[in-house]
């Protein structure tokens, strides 16, 4: 595993462990806003795992393609375009989800603030 891949894996694993700890703390503390944020964060983590899987598949495919080219054989399509399209689509889906997650958390937080001001 290259240094970049191990860094990514380590970062994702550390972020997941941190989110799980925060979710447990939120559940014990009773803050529904924190629990909502933790739940949405876990969904985002799963989406990121899917993006990383697709990126690994694409990387492996490109490595195989390079090996075949070095042997002076025609590598053909090998599904690289399909994987690239899937990766781009999954990245866009994750981006839309992250924007929606940000909007939900911000809206609920602002609503809580407004309610607390009126009491």
pTM above 0.85, yes or no: no
Query: Helices 32-70 and 3-29: crossing angle, nearest 10°?
Result: 160
- From first to last of the 119 residues of the chain, give the pLDDT tens digit: 555 555 556 667 777 777 777 667 656 666 778 888 888 888 999 999 999 999 999 888 888 887 877 776 766 666 888 889 999 999 999 999 999 999 998 998 888 888 888 77
Which pLDDT score, from 0 to 100, does residue 20 have? Answer: 75
Of 61, 54, 60, residue with least CA distance to 86: 54
Sequential DSSP letters for 6-70: HHHHHHHHHHHHHHHHHHHHHHHHT-HHHHHHHHHHHHHHHHHHHHHHHHHHHHHHHHHHHHHHH
Which pLDDT score, from 0 to 100, does residue 27 have? Answer: 61
Q: Is 74 left (phi over 0), alpha (psi -120 to 50) or beta?
A: beta
Which pLDDT score, from 0 to 100, does residue 69 have? Answer: 74
Which pLDDT score, from 0 to 100, does residue 92 have? Answer: 94
């Amino acid at each position: 595993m290259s240094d970049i891949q191990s860094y990514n894996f380590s970062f994702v694993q550390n972020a997941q462990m941190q989110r799980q700890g925060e979710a447990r703390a939120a559940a014990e503390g009773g803050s529904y806003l924190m629990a909502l944020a933790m739940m949405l964060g876990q969904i985002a983590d799963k989406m990121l795992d899917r993006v990383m899987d697709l990126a690994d598949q694409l990387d492996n495919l490109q490595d195989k393609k390079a090996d075949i080219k070095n042997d002076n054989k025609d590598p053909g399509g090998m599904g690289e375009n399909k994987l690239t399209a899937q990766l781009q689509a999954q990245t866009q889906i994750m981006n839309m989800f992250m924007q929606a997650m940000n909007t939900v958390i911000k809206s609920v937080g602002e609503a809580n603030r407004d309610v607390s001001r009126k009491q």
